[in-house]
Amino acid sequence: MKKLFTILLCLSMAYVLTAQENSKQREVGLVFSNFDNFGISYKTGTKRSLWRYNTLIVRGNNNKEDGDFEKITRNNTGFELKFGKEFRRDISDKLEFRFGADLSFRYRDIKYENESKIDNVVTLKNNRTVYEPGLNLVLGFNYVVNDNIIIGAEMLPFVRYSTGTSETRERNYSVNSNTYIDVDSDISGFSYGLSNSSVMLSVAYRF
């Protein structure tokens, strides 16, 4: 009888531990890349395995340089979406190691315009639209502040394919001031590596 009680106790403890491991867990938070790109993160799964959904807002800017002879305008906007899976292992009570991978898609729209103040004519104009599907690994750590608050940091080595178009209109001074040269070109190529924008910080609420 004593042996049977011991076996039942062990089985009960194993069941409780397994139930805790497999209990549902959700996290929502803010992510930061390069300290000037911001987004929202949502994760759902168990303590050991979670699906990741990230929306990262790529920095948008609208800069103007107004000089004596010309005015230059630069506009850059875009966004990035990521979906993936991460796994976690405890290092200590407060520290977790996480690893996994994401599928990503990034969109960028870049505009450049140079206007002459002498005759109020645009001398150079360039529009670039770029689409970038990709894949990145996830290697990072979580610091568990309490049962609900988590601070994280992760490196995201990536490989990315770029495709898009570039449209350029340039004033042709060799003919006359009202003639332009139009050049349209396709953009394509691969990029890979690890940069400062590939390091992401996060603050999340766990529930």
Question: Using an 8 Å Cβ cutoff, are 80 and 103 in contact?
Answer: no
Residue with tokens 């300290």: 35
The whole-angstrom separation of Cα 200 and Cα 38 is 10
* 10-residue stretch averages of pLDDT, the chain, 207 residues long: 49 46 85 82 95 82 85 91 96 96 95 88 93 96 96 95 96 76 94 81 95
Question: Mind listing the domains of the chain with CATH numbers?
Answer: 27-206 (2.40.160)
pLDDT of 73 reads: 94
Burial class (CB in 10 A: 0-12, 13-18, 19+), 14: exposed
Q: What is the pTM of this model?
A: 0.77
pLDDT of 17 reads: 46
